[in-house]
Amino acid sequence: MSDNDVVQIELERHESAVTVAHVTGDIDLASADVFRERLADTLTSGDAFVLDLDGVTFMGSLGFSALVEAHHETERRNIRWGIVAGSSPISRPLKITGLEQVLPIYPSVPDALAALAISTAE
């Protein structure tokens, strides 16, 4: 497996106290467990976060399953979050599967940050 095949997640803390997790690479059978673990690590902080998937080049069913699991966990723990999937190859599968109606999807990181900043200020 080359470095290009490995999913990468880089965390960036914003002044609004929201963490942005920038995800790049493929989320497939070989990397889905890493993606799931890093997503779970992000959830453990309990802070609001944005999952930026615009750098994802492919997402298989295990990746979508991890998003649904994260959604259930954020609801259970009352964690505010958003998914950025504006131009990535996963935006169409999110629409086709109906997940865009369930998951908190935003077209860009600034849009997600603005929505979460408003929500955390209330």
Q: CA 82 to CA 88: how far, in whole Å? A: 15
pTM confidence score = 0.88
Report the alpha-carbon angle 86-91-95, nearest 5.
125
Contacts of 90 by beta carbon, 8 Å cutoff, 6+ apart: 53, 56, 59, 63, 64
Q: For residue 25, give the nearest of 66, 67, 53, 62 by alpha carbon.
A: 53
Asked, for residue 3, whether it belongs to a domain, the answer is no
Check residue 86 and give its pLDDT: 80
Backbone φ and ψ of 37, nearest 5°:
-65, -45
Structure confidence at residue 1 as a pLDDT band (50, 70, 90): very low
8-13 and 19-27 beta bridge pairing: antiparallel
Residues of the domain holding 34: 8-119
Asked if residue 112 belongs to a domain, the reply is yes
Helix/strand/coil percentages in the chain, nearest 5? 45, 25, 30
CB 64 within 8 A of CB 100: no
Domain count for the chain, please give it: 1
Whether 2 maps to a domain, the answer reads no
At 52-105, the pLDDT tens digits run: 999 999 999 999 999 999 999 999 999 999 999 987 688 999 999 999 999 999
Question: What's the CATH number where 25 sits?
Answer: 3.30.750.24
Q: Is the pLDDT of residue 22 over 70?
A: yes
Domain assignment present for residue 1? The answer is: no
